[in-house]
Structure 1
Amino acid sequence: MKKVKEEVLYKYSFYQPVDGYRYSIDALLLAGFVKSKTEQIKILDIGTGSGIITLLISKRFPNWEFSAVEIQQDLYEIANENFQLHKLEVGLFYCDYRDLEGQDSYDIIVSNPPFFNNGHQPSNQQTAVARHEIFGDMESLIHKAKKLLKAGGDFYVIYPANRLAELLTKLSNEKLAPYAIKPIYPKPAMEATLVMVVAKKNYKGRLQVLSPLYIGDISGKDTKEIKDLYEKGVLEW
């Protein structure tokens, strides 16, 4: 498969397909949102694609233990190349995440999942699988995340804002309690298009609705938070 080496956040070389599924700002936002005060963390990236989220998190937390899973062979191979390029040790699985073994194994699970149901799909199969719920829906993802997470472990996910109620219901059904929600807006005076949610296994505390993130200002230029994300790879909260 044809691939191209590009730069991420203006400084990291990264392979991704010339055609097919390419990462978007969603991945940068989610990678920048992940945090922990603990040094020794086992983290799993479900649906890693070309490995962008795992790669970016590793630049901030080099001592963490990384695992990732990808069901599409061509993306799995590109992710493997990216991890080798950056000399990053990752337990990389080529399989359906629903087939992963292990229980109470991870401190953090992160996913930028497909969220379109089986409606009209792109002609490119790679993009269709990455964006449409072909190999499992949100319910199956949450169910698996709960099993794989340790008690007190965190599940990070980015999802369409207009499906937030559905997401919260499914998390609640699996006893994964949301404790932080970050709404994302294209710019002021527009409706939120995305939300990032952190849910914790066996959590009984309060929910934080965090300050909104605006991608652009009223004129459409990048906001300070987005500029900081591009420069530092992190969203403070």
Structure 2
Amino acid sequence: MQTPVSLDSIKDVSLYQKVNGYRFTIDSVLIADFVNKFMPASILDVGAGTGIIGILLARKYTSSCISLLEVQHDLAVLSERNVMHNGLENQITVHNMGIEDTMNSPDFTPASYDVIVSNPPFRVPSSGKISPYDERAIARHEIRMNAEVLMRSVSYLLKSRGYFYVIFHPFRLAEMFALMRKFTLEPKRARFIYPDVLSESKMVMVESIKGARQGMKIEKPLVIHKDGTTYTEEVERILRQ
């Protein structure tokens, strides 16, 4: 029986997603907006899901060559479908593999990307409620990829002075910074995301540069809602731009 999908629009792109399965959230849109590298020639999206981040970056950087990496077969197929649906098959390539497999793949060479971006699973398997849908569980919990594997592989694939962008939960901030430095990814810029002005931060976006010197900027908070349902002006701008 065919899996039901919906066609959903964000900004100037539209994507097919499973009705019951992994579906992108606003986090993916925010991290794509956070990417701030001048005209990168090559971009890699790790854990691409349905392709939302890579497709948004293709609109942002029209001359960049973009690779999407997705370990789950069904999601990789949807990514391929979404790339073609948005007319980006000449700019984006989809690879159905885990990031740890890139070290032994002829399609990937060390120090080959200007920018790598990821919205990775940020919960360890013993924390949080695990989704009954395998796709969602793998996307949210470290079942198929953990933070150390991610950082090691990113450092392997990123050019010297290349940029790595990642979004994760603040409770793992110290661990993530330690792993970044272990693999010569120096944190340079961070922005904490808040559901509203009265809540604690739920996510943080970090930019690191391979081989850079120490020195980091904490940007102003990004607040999602100005009341329970209405987006702030900045988030509205990000979603429209």
Q: Give the conservation status (yes or no) of the 8 Å contact 1:106–1:153.
A: yes
Matching residue within 87, 112, 122 for 1:105: 112
Unpaired runs of 5+ in structure 1? 233-237
Q: Which runs of 5+ in 2 are unaligned?
A: 104-108
Counterpart mapping for 1:58-97 below 5 A: 58-88=58-88, 89-97=91-99
Tell me which amino acid in the other structure corresponds to 1:81: R
Amino acid at match of 2:123: F
Query: Is 1:225 aligned with 2:226?
Result: no
Shift of 1:127: 1.0
Aligned match of 1:115:
122
Give the AA of the match of 1:49: G
Sequence identity percentage: 33
Equivalent residue letter for 2:114:
D
Match of 1:160 in 2: 169
**How many pairs are equivalent?**
230
What is the alpha-carbon distance in structure 2 between the residues aligned to residue 31 and residue 99 of structure 1? 24
Cα-Cα RMSD: 1.3
Match of 1:45 in 2: 45
Matched, 1:194 2:203: yes
Partners of 2:83 and 2:69 lie apart in 1 by: 13
The SS at the match of 2:174 is helix
Kindly provide the amino acid, as one letter, of the partner of residue 169 in structure 1: A
C-alpha contact (below 8 Å) 2:42/2:114 kept by paired residues: yes
Q: In 2, Cα distance between the equivalents of 1:44 and 1:144?
A: 12
1:136 is displaced (CA, Å) by: 1.7
Q: What is the deviation of 1:170?
A: 1.1
Give 1:178 deviation, angstroms. Answer: 0.3
What is the CA-CA distance between 1:220 and the residue it aligns to?
Answer: 4.9
What amino acid does structure 2 have at the position aligned with 1:90?
A: I
Instruction: Report the CA distance between 1:60 and its aligned residue.
Output: 1.3
Structure 1 runs of 4+ with >4 Å offset:
none
